[in-house]
């Protein structure tokens, strides 16, 4: 790691470098872990400080009276920093203010915020205070420049040690991806690899696997185990009724839950709800329960559901409206119940004499299996990760995201995005290109060819042996839509947050198309002007060159690729015209509803009778056939590639999958927009929205 280095921190009158001013600069010079020098200055901003800034920093107008101007201070700052590498928390903020003040630094820069987001990929906060607390770093006076700068230096050293402890294969892969980039952290990870190499050697077979693009050496070993799934549930022939009184005793004031969790609050409505749920299981009834806030409804339905599934080996599905509640049930409520059962097994909790049903249930719970199932887009796709890893034109955002994912892969066993911090819109957009997709995977392609490493199919296999499956409404309804193929078979369902079910059904049966989404779709096929080495058509052309095809075959495919590219460009041009016309129609607000969010127009028969609607139809007549022809061209290209199965084209199966998925998205957009504009269905409801930003 660089040594010596200088850490930098600024305090300012606000966040805008164009209109706000610097009021304090602090720098600390480090040689390894040792502080060797400090430099700090208070600066007169020639304006009054806000109450907020004074409260935050403790700096007052009196403190700054008579202090030098920023112009007087900058030469000394430049001399102190010299040519040393710079370390800062959110370096772009500090350097932006210095540039606005007239100081341009060309030093090597390390951003601890960016480093922490990569090396600690699942944290909810990357503030200096949160990170200092995690590493046990004393922050004597937060939001004072010198103290923050010193804490930043200690944090940088802690992160350097963290990086050196990463698996060597992970560091090698990060450095391979960054080798030809100008990424500011490239030298940091090179140094980390050198440090790690002093104590760890990569086995020959691991290095060869890594060089061949195999994901194996980069995964948490627990995520690679095969054949470790629970056995499928075989329901008992004659279900055993639940002991309702015994289950209710679990929640009584002197019951086992209160013994294990002394802060537990006894609630009679919770016990009443538990009894109602248990009776419904016993009698095969449908029951609708309205529970007020504070009832404790989760435990009231989870306990009977667990008991029924364990006693009778009959799967129960619990559906929630939000992924957050899913995660709460999976990571808190169910583990709390299991903790109480463990206490009953060990004798640390008890039930009244003569009541044996809970003891028996506690023994059965020792083999309890629960699965958390989410939609495909929540899981990392190893195949799509491999595709991005194989690119040689990664931009800096993609490099940072891949580095974060590679570090996360050493920790995760689920591949669930909830474990990964995605703080920015750019991060979430890149995740969309790494996540499992509906049209791009199948059991044959992914579960088998990925050697058991597909997180989505591993999760699905685990669910087949689960007593209880926790899903959200979207996945529950998707299972209904595909005839029960999305979830393992079940007979009993608990719908939590059922008042949201109608909205979830509406959303599940709806289709949304927008100009930005369609533009991104076209960019995934062929970016505007062919800029950058990306897009499925670029990947296809590059791999065909390596495929050992005859000149005649390659030229034929190349002509088809060029024709498809032209259709993409034509669609892109006409897309803008169509949405411009639609924008104008909505903007005229023909019966639309203005709100703080924008304008919504219901596209009913009356609206289509407006004279201006004809221009919308004309606009669609220009783009619609082009989209259709693009989808057809991509499907034709896919069929042609399918016949080259033995040609040796690298990653042909991935190309087929990506082409098929993108073609499906193109045709779906065509069909739904065509129905909305030209051929509305009698039982369809259509509307157009214009958001506040246009």
Catalytic residue positions? 143
Strand partners, 29: 6, 37
**Cα separation, 466 vs 372, whole angstroms:** 10
**Cα separation, 321 vs 61, whole angstroms:** 51
**Cα separation, 407 vs 119, whole angstroms:** 6
Strand partners, 371: 469
**Cα separation, 208 vs 73, whole angstroms:** 54
Look at strands 370-372 and 468-472 and give their pairing.
parallel
Whether the Cβ atoms of residue 631 and residue 666 lie closer than 8 Å to each other:
yes
**Cα separation, 272 vs 311, whole angstroms:** 22
What region, left, alpha or beta, does residue 452 occupy, with left being phi > 0 and alpha being psi -120 to 50 degrees? left
- How crowded is the C-beta side of 514, counted as CA atoms within 13 Å? 8
Nearest to 213 by CA among 380, 385, 379, 381: 385
Nearest to 329 by CA among 502, 461, 496, 474: 496
Q: Residue 443 carries which DSSP code?
A: I
Look at strands 316-320 and 468-472 and give their pairing.
parallel
Tell me phi and psi for residue 495, to 5 degrees: -105, 105
Q: Which spans in 250-322 are helix H?
A: 256-260, 268-283, 297-312
Tokens linked to 488 = 């393992």
Tokens linked to 691 = 């958001």
Q: Which spans in 453-550 are helix H?
A: 455-463, 473-481, 501-508, 515-525, 536-545
CA 92 to the chain's CA centroid: 24
Look at strands 598-602 and 687-691 and give their pairing.
antiparallel
Look at strands 86-88 and 109-111 and give their pairing.
parallel
Tokens linked to 215 = 């994901």
């Amino acid at each position: 790691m660089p040594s010596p280095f200088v850490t930098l921190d600024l305090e300012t009158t606000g966040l805008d470098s164009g209109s706000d001013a610097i009021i304090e600069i602090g720098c600390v010079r480090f040689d390894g872990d040792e502080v060797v020098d400090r430099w700090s200055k208070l600066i007169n901003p020639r304006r009054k400080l806000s109450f907020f800034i004074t409260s935050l920093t403790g700096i007052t107008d009196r403190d700054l009276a008579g202090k030098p101007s920023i112009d007087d201070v900058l030469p000394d700052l430049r001399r102190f920093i010299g040519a040393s590498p710079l370390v800062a928390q959110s370096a772009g903020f500090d350097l932006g203010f210095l540039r606005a003040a007239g100081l341009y630094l060309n030093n090597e820069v390390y951003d601890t915020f960016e480093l922490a987001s990569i090396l600690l990929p699942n944290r909810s906060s990357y503030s200096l205070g949160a990170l200092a607390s995690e590493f046990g770093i004393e922050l004597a006076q937060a939001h004072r420049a010198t103290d923050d700068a010193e804490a930043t230096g200690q944090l940088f050293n802690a992160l350097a040690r963290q990086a050196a402890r990463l698996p060597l294969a992970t560091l090698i892969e990060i450095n391979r991806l960054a080798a030809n980039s100008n990424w500011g952290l490239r030298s940091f990870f090179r140094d980390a690899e050198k440090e790690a190499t002093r104590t760890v050697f990569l086995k020959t077979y691991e290095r060869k696997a890594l060089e061949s693009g195999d994901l194996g050496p980069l995964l948490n070993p627990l995520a690679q185990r095969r054949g470790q799934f629970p056995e499928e549930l075989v329901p008992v022939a004659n279900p055993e009724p639940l002991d309702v009184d015994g289950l209710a005793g679990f929640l009584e004031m002197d019951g086992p839950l209160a013994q294990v969790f002394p802060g537990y609050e006894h609630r009679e409505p919770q016990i009443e709800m538990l009894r109602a749920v248990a009776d419904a299981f016993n009698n095969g009834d449908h029951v609708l329960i309205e529970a007020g806030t504070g009832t404790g409804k989760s435990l009231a339905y989870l306990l009977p559901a667990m008991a029924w599934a364990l006693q009778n080996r009959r799967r129960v599905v619990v559906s929630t409206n939000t992924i957050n509640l899913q995660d709460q049930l999976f990571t808190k409520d169910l583990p709390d119940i299991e903790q109480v059962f463990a206490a009953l097994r060990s004798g640390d909790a008890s039930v009244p004499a003569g009541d044996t049903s809970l003891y028996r249930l506690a023994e059965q719970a020792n083999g309890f299996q629960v699965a958390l199932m989410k939609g495909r887009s929540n899981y990392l796709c190893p195949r799509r990760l491999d595709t991005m890893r194989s690119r040689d034109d990664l931009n800096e955002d993609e490099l940072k995201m891949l580095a974060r994912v590679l570090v996360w892969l050493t920790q995760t066993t689920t591949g669930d995005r909830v474990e990964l911090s995605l703080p920015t819109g750019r991060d979430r957009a890149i995740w969309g290109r790494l996540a499992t997709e509906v049209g791009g995977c199948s059991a044959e392609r992914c579960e088998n060819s990925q050697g058991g490493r597909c997180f989505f199919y591993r999760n699905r296999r685990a669910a087949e042996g689960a007593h209880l499956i926790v899903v959200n409404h979207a996945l529950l309804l998707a299972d209904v839509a595909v005839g029960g193929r999305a979830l393992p078979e079940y007979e009993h369902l608990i719908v939590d947050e059922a008042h949201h079910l109608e909205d979830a059904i509406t959303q599940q049966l709806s289709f949304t198309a927008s100009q930005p989404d369609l533009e991104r779709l076209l960019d995934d096929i062929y970016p505007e002007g062919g800029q950058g080495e990306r897009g499925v058509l670029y990947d296809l052309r590059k791999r065909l060159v390596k495929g050992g095809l005859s000149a005649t075959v390659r030229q034929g495919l190349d002509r088809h690729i060029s024709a498809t590219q032209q259709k993409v460009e034509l669609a892109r041009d006409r897309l803008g015209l169509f949405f411009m016309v639609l924008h104008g129609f909505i903007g005229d607000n023909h019966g639309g509803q203005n709100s703080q969010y924008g304008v919504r127009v219901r596209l009913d028969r009356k609206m289509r009778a407006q004279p201006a609607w004809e221009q919308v139809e004309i606009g669609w007549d220009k783009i619609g056939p082009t989209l259709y022809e693009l989808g057809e061209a991509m499907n034709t290209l896919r069929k042609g590639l399918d016949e080259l199965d033995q040609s040796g084209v690298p990653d042909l199966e991935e190309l087929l999958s990506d082409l098929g998925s993108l073609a499906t998205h193109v045709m779906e957009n065509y069909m739904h927009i065509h129905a909305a504009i030209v051929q509305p269905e009698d039982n369809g409801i259509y509307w157009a929205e214009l958001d506040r930003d246009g």
